[in-house]
Amino acid sequence: MTTSIEGAPAGLVVADEQAAAVHFLVDEELYPLPAIYGAAYVFIDRCYVFLDRPEPARVRVVLTAKSGAAAPEALRALIGEFANELLSCAFRHQIAQDNRVLIETATMQALAGAMGQPSLDDLAKFDFRDQGFDDPLGIAMSWEEKHGRKSPKPESEGAP
């Protein structure tokens, strides 16, 4: 026997007390699919979760109690907790989308720092002549420009 849940929008949430399950539809325009997956994942330890797409841009979520029986109050609490988790996951998804560049930049800097400092050979091969900034007044001058760059000695000359 299916009944509607008190306080939930009619037609969107239905409880099946005999099956100890709740069925509800989620609009993908309000809640992105990764948020729906995230909320469903949080609930897999408490109940069986089934996701279905009965129509375009809508996802049906079915939560079934693992104990096999649930009171109407427990089903109402389950749907309320899932709705709260769904909202939380949607907000976290939006924050991650808004800050994607910052997250990627911080990750790249962390990975680059984990590579360690450059070796002396890397520094010797590096071309320091490239200007890293504009100097419209011409007052910045590198050591090599002022005193001349020494060319590296061939390995055969330095050996005794």
Residue 126 lies in a domain: no
Question: What pTM did the predictor assign?
Answer: 0.62
Calculate the average pLDDT of the chain: 82
Compute the distance between CA of residue 13 and CA of residue 78 in angstroms, rounded to an integer: 12
Tokens of 71: 């009171």
Number of domains in the chain: 1
Residue 128 belongs to a domain: no
Residue 38 domain-assigned (yes or no): yes
Question: Would you say 41 and 94 are in contact if contact means Cβ atoms under 8 Å apart?
Answer: no
CATH of the domain at 39: 3.30.1360
Residue 66 lies inside a defined structural domain of this protein: yes
The domain in which residue 10 lies consists of 2-100
Residue with the bigger pLDDT between 70 and 88: it is: 88
pLDDT in tens, 111-125: 887 777 878 888 788
What is d(CA 131, CA 145) in angstroms, rounded to the nearest whole number? 12
The answer to whether position 27 is within a domain reads: yes
**Residues 68-82 pLDDT 10s:** 777 878 888 888 899
Tally Cβ neighbours within 10 Å of residue 60: 14
In a domain, 50, yes or no: yes
> Does residue 154 sit in helix, strand or coil?
coil
